[in-house]
Amino acid sequence: MPLVTVNPATGETLHRFTEADDARIDQAVARSERSFVAWRELAPTERARHLQRLGAALRRDSDALSALITSEMGKPISQSRAEIEKCALACDYYAQEGPDLLVPTLPPRAPAQSGIAYEPLGPLLAIMPWNFPMWQVFRAAIPALLAGNTVLLKHASNVSGCALAAEEVFRRAGLPRGVFQTLLVGSGRVPALIGDPRIRAVTLTGSVEAGRKVGALAGRALKPCVLELGGSDPYIVLEDADLALAAETCAAARLVNSGQSCVAGKRFIVVDRVRAEFEELFAERVRARRVGDPFDPATDVGPLARADLRETLQKQIRSTLRRGAKRLLGGGPKKGAGFFFEPTVLTDVRKGMPACDDEVFGPVAAVIPVRDEAEALRVANDTRFGLGAAVFTRDLERGEEIARERLAAGMCFVNAFVRSEVSLPFGGVKDSGFGRELGPWGVHSFVNTKTLWIEGSSRTEK
């Protein structure tokens, strides 16, 4: 069955790719295993130099790669360019800081004859989604490669062109053949790949349902995995918040990538005292975002990536409205070609409504009224997700205490929207998955943390 890519702005088919057969998959896995033997023997500083060259290659190819992202999944071109630059920044970070993260260590109070070494595991299967078709690939792959592993990419079928382009960037940057490879396969091939004894670890960014399946397969095969899954991030607006800042930040957080981000703000929990003013400011900021041609640099919101995603979003809104929510703005698909959807603000959203309970992937914001801070925190944490969260308050000590102690999420921000930063851990709790990417944690997710014990008087002190 071919893997088809479609332009979301027009609905036109871009390309049909042939899925890899069993022989080609076996060759790729064998090549990854062979490449691992040589790649792991390079000093971390040499692997870092390869990553430095990779960052330079990404910047050289930025225009073409950005255009490909926009063509295949509809991201506004300015955001596509920013995505490529972020990939390059990850290369810069690990090229500079990465080797120090792999230096053998002696933990506090450990015996003098002991130590900790970090050893790569082997070929890693990276199963990646379509919404950040380059960043999520590089976010997972770069620290794993720095650690000495090799990577096989199984990308979302609707961004197959981006998947091939990613492999081509590695080739043009001069990395050894087989260190990073793309496998053009559908999800039906994933169980066999995870079960292949030559694959030593798995990382997935995707839905909760995909995470359950991949986690079960990895567990059955006794292979480590990192699962970065969905989110329904709460943004709490307290009575002492700077409402202009909160409204602008929340609008940006909800509409980034046209609302198609796991860490986009989704539930806006507002205390009654400031609710009316916040809703007015928030709707105004959302209304001001320009929807249109994703190749126009002035566009803020592009199309959804696929037709079925738009249909799901419309069903979620209709169900939410039937159960008592009110529409402040938008609410439906835009007429004309492509998979565009109006930026939408719903209010009086409550538990039991899809806009509150489920991950809503698109430009739809749910305002949830609450009496006070205590109720805001109960509502924020009353979710199966736990990826990101934010709180808005002028009292920074109060905001930090809430973020540090009282919000159940992997990443908590005060007076800012949740986003990834290359030096900090990225990941969630509960149904949002487990494990961490980026920073030192991204490197150590896929290593054998090996205990050493060396007896004898001739050991050189270091």
H or E element in which residue 141 lies: helix 135-146
214 near 185, Cβ under 8 Å?
Answer: no
Set 225, 262, 356, 412: catalytic member: 262
The angle at the Cα of 283, spanning 277 to 285, to the nearest 5 degrees, equals 105
- Alpha-carbon separation of residue 182 from 90, 198, 381 (angstroms): 20, 16, 38
The pair of three-digit structure tokens given for residue 248, joined into one six-digit string: 């602008």
Q: What is the CA radius of gyration of the chain?
A: 23
Set 33, 72, 167, 228: catalytic member: 228
162 is catalytic: no
225 near 232, Cβ under 8 Å?
Answer: no
CA distance linking residue 250 with residue 254, whole number of Å: 6
* Nearest residue to 248 (alpha-carbon basis) of 281, 280, 274: 281
Query: 461: helix, coil or strand?
Result: coil
262 is catalytic: yes
Contacts of 145 (CB under 8 A, 6+ apart): 39, 47, 50, 51, 151, 179, 180
Q: Which long-range contacts (CB under 8 A, 24 or more apart) does 95-98 make?
A: 95/48, 95/49, 95/51, 95/52, 95/55, 96/48, 97/423, 98/44, 98/47, 98/48, 98/51, 98/143, 98/146, 98/443
436 near 425, Cβ under 8 Å?
Answer: yes
Catalytic residues: 228, 262
